[in-house]
Structure 1
Amino acid sequence: MRILVVNDDGVFTSGISHLAKMAAKLGEVWVVAPDQQCSAMSHRITVHGTLDIKQVDISVPGVHAYGVSGTPADCVKVGIKYLMPEKPDIVFSGINFGYNVGLDILYSGTVGAAMEALIHGVPAMAFSKEMNDNYEVVEANLLSITKELLNRPIKSNEIWNINFPSCTMSEFRGVLYDRIPAKEQFYLDKYVRMELENSNFRLTIDGVRNTAAEEGTDMRAVLDNYISVGKVANNILRS
């Protein structure tokens, strides 16, 4: 199996290393990711200027790794068209540093990269977790969930969206499938206003965690210490 691994946090982050190590157990892996932080870029692409592609070492044996001076979606394009000798069988995007649940999916560069894979006719999975360094639940479940989803049917305009809770294994409650996106943001907007001269002002932005969500949603699952597995569709590609 040929696997392209991308993310939106940057090629040297711990999340992409965890994902690449897992992917290497399933096949031959190319990591192609931004050379800097690109969160919340959604499906943005570079339409003017240049893209620099540099081979890098992410300390995962046997993995081909490259940093790209572009967006997550750019990385999928570059990986498929210019770096991999053949089209990948699957694209893994993540592991994102921060949940991609609810309305936050719309802003996600992680999900945007997975959607770019669909444009090229390649199935994709997006992986995310809470903003901390606890990979206990991820390490215990990442490979088994990925193997299971590889064998599950999914439409050509859909991606798998997997979110891991931030809890320890002793607090972990299991896996919930068929979760739907919550109709709210997990990271609520918070703007602190500072007055400047001449009636101008500055807004300092700080996301605040949401602690409430409806049953059956991806957000409710992770809040209750479950792994959330659901599908996200690109209706433009619907056949």
Structure 2
Amino acid sequence: MRILITNDDGINAGGIIRLANAAIDIGEVWVVAPNEQRSAASHSISLHDHIDIYPYDFPIAGVKAFSCSGTPSDCVRVGCLNIMPCKPDLVLSGINNGYNAASDIQYSATAGAAFEGSFQGILSISLSEEADKLHEVSEAYLHDVLSELCCKKLEYGQIYNVNFPGCPLSQCKGILRNRKVSHGMFFRDHYIELKKLDNNGIRLMVEGDYNEDCEPDTDFRAVVDKYISIGIVNNIG
């Protein structure tokens, strides 16, 4: 199996290294990932700017890696269409530092890159975990989750979306599959005014209030209750 891995936290992020380390047990691994942080880029691609690609000294033996100046979706496109000798059998995006569940999925470049893989006709999986928390659950379950999903088929425009809770392994209650996408949100956003600008302008910055109100049987509810959430997400396009 040929596997293409990307992310939106940058090629040097810990999550992509752990994902590649798990994936190398199931196939030939290629990494094409952004050269810097690209979170919340959704499914955007570069149309009017050039894209620079450089070989990258990835810290896992046997992984062929390249850094990319573009978005995570650009990484999948150039990986599939230019860098790899033939299209991969599987696209993995992550492991993202922060959940990509509920309404946040529409902004997620982790999910956006996976959707690009799906649009290229490739089985694609987006993987995320709670931001800046323990990795015990993802470390324990990652290989089994990849092995379970890597050969399953999806319809065009669908991806598997996986979220790992950031709790100690002893507190994780297992896996919940077929989770629906919640209509809720982890952070209820508002904007704060930072300063007044010339010509009657104002400078704003987003600020979010953490929230755990969510519907039953959803991805959001699963991770709040310390389960691993697995679900199929359809691109609205």
Query: Quick check: TM above 0.5?
Result: yes
Structure 1 contact 104–187 (Cα < 8 Å) conserved: no
Q: Residues 115-194 of structure 1: matches in 2 within 5 Å?
A: 115-194=115-194
Residues 120-146 of structure 1, C-alpha deviation per residue, up to 9 Å, x if partnerless? 111100000111142100010001011
- Report percent identity of matched pairs: 44
CA distance in 2, matches of 1:67, 1:124: 20
- Local SS of the residue matching 2:139: helix
- Local SS of the residue matching 2:110: helix
Residues 68-100 of structure 1, C-alpha deviation per residue, up to 9 Å, x if partnerless? 000011000110111111110000001111101
Structure 1 contact 76–117 (Cα < 8 Å) conserved: yes
CA distance in 1, matches of 2:159, 2:80: 18
Give the TM-score normalised by structure 2.
Answer: 0.95
Structure 2 contact 161–232 (Cα < 8 Å) conserved: yes
CA distance in 1, matches of 2:129, 2:16: 12
Q: Residues 1-239 of structure 1: matches in 2 within 5 Å?
A: 1-197=1-197, 199-234=200-235, 236=237
The one-letter code sitting in structure 1 at the alignment partner of 2:226 is: N
CA distance in 2, matches of 1:185, 1:19: 26
Query: CA RMSD for the aligned pairs?
Result: 1.4
Residues 33-90 of structure 1, C-alpha deviation per residue, up to 9 Å, x if partnerless? 0101110011100001211101111201110111000001100011011111111000
CA distance in 2, matches of 1:197, 1:35: 33
Task: Using the TM superposition, give the Cα deviation of residue 195 of structure 1 relative to its aligned residue in structure 2, in angstroms.
Answer: 4.0
- Local SS of the residue matching 1:139: helix
Task: Using the TM superposition, give the Cα deviation of residue 202 of structure 1 relative to its aligned residue in structure 2, in angstroms.
Answer: 1.9
CA distance in 1, matches of 2:117, 2:75: 10
The one-letter code sitting in structure 1 at the alignment partner of 2:220 is: M
The count of aligned residue pairs is: 236
Gaps in structure 1 of 5+ consecutive residues: none
